[in-house]
Amino acid sequence: MGTFRHGIQTNIDVKKRIPFLTGDAVSAYLLILPFFVFFFLFVLSPLLRNFLNSFTNDSLGVKEFIGFRNYEKLLRDRSFLRSVLNTFTFALFSIVPLMVLGFAAALSVNRPKKAMYAARAVLMYPYVASMVSVSMIWLYLFDPGSGLFNKVLWMAGFSGSDWLFDEKLALPCLIVVNVWKMIGYVMILYLAALQGVPQSQYDAAVVDGAGFLGATWHVTLPAIRPVSFFLLATLSIECFKTFEQVRIMTNGGPLDATTTITHQIYMRAFSEFKMGYASAMSVVLFLMVFVVTLLNLKFGGQLEEDRGNG
């Protein structure tokens, strides 16, 4: 009897010292196990393999360890350096208009009226459409010979433009397409944030003599600050991995004027079959996105909040 009691007591002591052996903990680990299996097999493992592959000259059968030669070559690759510049330019001139126009759109439709519900649906439609279909539509609009934009210019007495075939206009055209498509995403998130701001704060601002602009500056913007930094992070990631519209509308041209990092990765991997070199490009892209995300978290105050909670 004493041995039986001693065994039970020992088991209880072990569970106290090792809390993950309790029944509830085991059930919780089993529930989250599929996610970690999926994450390891389809995210972490390919990421590590890609990182190791970036130190080889892998090209369809030939695979030798070459150290940092791929990364050294990137510093001299004019097409890749141009793609980095294009990617940052595309991100900057897409994110700023999206944040401003998306917030303005959210303010405009933040009213309980049927017309506003219809306006929300219209603004969301481009976002839910696939980028391939959107790119094909805009490709027709930008066509120098039969496109709608040139027809309007001709009717107004102006000369047409080459649009996507013009080295100076091609990238701005892609930025316009991206802003048009993504504005619904920004609008719907800002709209949700606006509807979460307590009305009492606006009432207090009115009592203090603040008008619409004053209430927007002192009440609305501070209240939706977390959403703004979330949008900044997600839009940055989306812009850095831009590919579909580049591939369909310009294929990186003219003269690499619209090539992006992801487009360069695709071309090196699936056109030239330089898998090792493309892996090095993807590692650089990963580091860029990682740094941008950390900066967003830092300036958004999320890191300080996590430390405070910890």
Mind listing the pLDDT tens digit for each residue in 76-118?
A: 999 999 999 999 999 999 999 999 999 999 999 988 888 888 9
Mind listing the pLDDT tens digit for each residue in 124-182?
A: 999 999 999 999 999 999 999 888 999 999 999 889 899 999 999 999 999 999 999 99
Q: Which of the two residues, 300 and 288, has the higher pLDDT score? A: 288
Confidence label for 4 from pLDDT (cuts 50, 70 and 90): very low
* pLDDT greater than 90 at residue 303: no
Average predicted confidence (pLDDT) for the chain: 87
Mind listing the pLDDT tens digit for each residue in 236-275?
A: 999 999 999 999 999 999 989 999 999 999 999 999 999 9
The structural domains of the chain, ordered by start, are 2-53 (no CATH), 69-309 (1.10.3720.10)
* pLDDT greater than 90 at residue 198: no
DSSP-derived secondary structure for 21-81:
GSHHHHHHHHHHHHHHHHHIIIIIHHHHHHHHHTTB--BTTB--B-TTHHHHHHTT-HHHH
* pLDDT greater than 80 at residue 7: no
**Helices marked H in 61-218 — which ranges?**
69-74, 78-109, 114-128, 131-141, 148-155, 170-194, 199-207, 212-215
* pLDDT greater than 60 at residue 302: no
Confidence label for 300 from pLDDT (cuts 50, 70 and 90): low
* pLDDT greater than 50 at residue 201: yes
Residue type at position 20: F
- Best CA proximity match to 166, nearest among 183, 181, 147, 152: 147
Sign of the C-alpha dihedral computed for residues 127, 128, 132 and 133 taken in this order: negative
Q: CB atoms < 10 A from the CB of 162, how many?
A: 14
Per-residue model confidence (pLDDT) at position 51: 93
- Best CA proximity match to 169, nearest among 187, 184, 153: 153
Q: What is the maximum span of the chain, computed from C-alpha positions, in angstroms?
A: 104
Per-residue model confidence (pLDDT) at position 154: 93
Per-residue model confidence (pLDDT) at position 59: 85
pTM for the model: 0.84
Residue 86 φ then ψ, to 5°: -65, -40
